[in-house]
Amino acid sequence: MSDAVLYVVATPIGNLADITHRAVEVLQSVALIAAEDTRHSGRLMAQFSIKTPMISVHDHNERQRVTTIINKLSEGENIALISDAGTPLISDPGFILVRAVREAGFKVVPIPGCSALITALSAAGMPSNSFIFEGFLPAKSLARRQQVEVIADETRTVIFYESTHRIVASLKDMMTVLGADRYVVIARELTKTFETIHGAPLGDLIEWIEQDHNQQKGEFVVLVSGAPEKEDTGFSSETLRTLDILLQELPMKQASALTAKLTGEKKNALYQVALERKG
């Protein structure tokens, strides 16, 4: 067994000056760079005079590439993994490769740097001690709303990635589920020329972004403030979630009765909770 290393190297999310000295050193010194898109990464390589050969490792060939890369490591060649932007594996390819390389007994060394979610969180002014990252929401509206329902009662800050094509539709689906008052920050084009970090209740945020087409362009991190802590009702979060979903569609009596049937809880007690939740 050779002691070759797979380096997992973070690259900038826009501003090339954000690359670390260590990342450049590693990319210059390894035998091979496994890049998500070799053409895309060509610009970075040219900027820092990195002449190391590259192979592509993306969502559609990652499994096949595992064998090639493990063979090269076995021959004693160090390899670096990069993605198009930010930290590999964070909503990017690399998980299958990293797991296989570790299982094969080789060392995997992270070279830390940018990630859009941490960059956004550091400047959004949202609670940041504890948060959850959900990656991209589904492309279709129904699935997207269902996914947002899952985090509707989450009390921690929830972070999503979003693209220019879906930002408005996603914010609208969030408003359908979370209401117009939920405070949301969007962090657009971080580290780039048109960097914008803007926060408002969802209703106002949607109005703002719809009025200015330029604000819909580019790459987005969406940070949703956590739901307020609910007082202890004595019911499990699953029961309360069922009740909340049914309350969106049905009168309180029916919603409570149906939740009681589904969960085996008492109808009257659920009705009291429904009254409180409807304010």
Q: What binding mask, one character per residue, do residues 138-167 give for ligand SAM by CB under 6 A, x or -?
A: -----------------------xxx----
Regarding 240 and contact with ligand SAM (CB under 6 A), the answer is no
25, 74 contact by CB (below 8 A): no
Give the interface segment with ligand SAM, choosing from 23-31, 90-98, 230-238, 255-263 (CB under 6 A): 90-98
Q: How many residues in total does the chain contain?
A: 279
Give the interface segment with ligand SAM, choosing from 80-88, 98-106, 170-178, 270-278 (CB under 6 A): 80-88
Regarding 90 and contact with ligand SAM (CB under 6 A), the answer is yes
Q: Which two tokens stand for residue 74?
A: 């076995």
Of residues 183-212, which lie at the interface with ligand SAM (CB under 6 A)? 187-192
CB of residue 188 to ligand SAM, shortest distance in Å: 6
Q: What binding mask, one character per residue, do residues 104-143 give for ligand SAM by CB under 6 A, x or -?
A: -----------xxx--------------------------
**Residue of 9, 13, 54, 121 interacting with ligand SAM (CB under 6 A):** 13
**Residue of 32, 34, 86, 106 interacting with ligand SAM (CB under 6 A):** 86
Binding site for ligand SAM (CB under 6 A): 13-14, 83, 85-87, 90-92, 115-117, 161-163, 187-192, 219-221
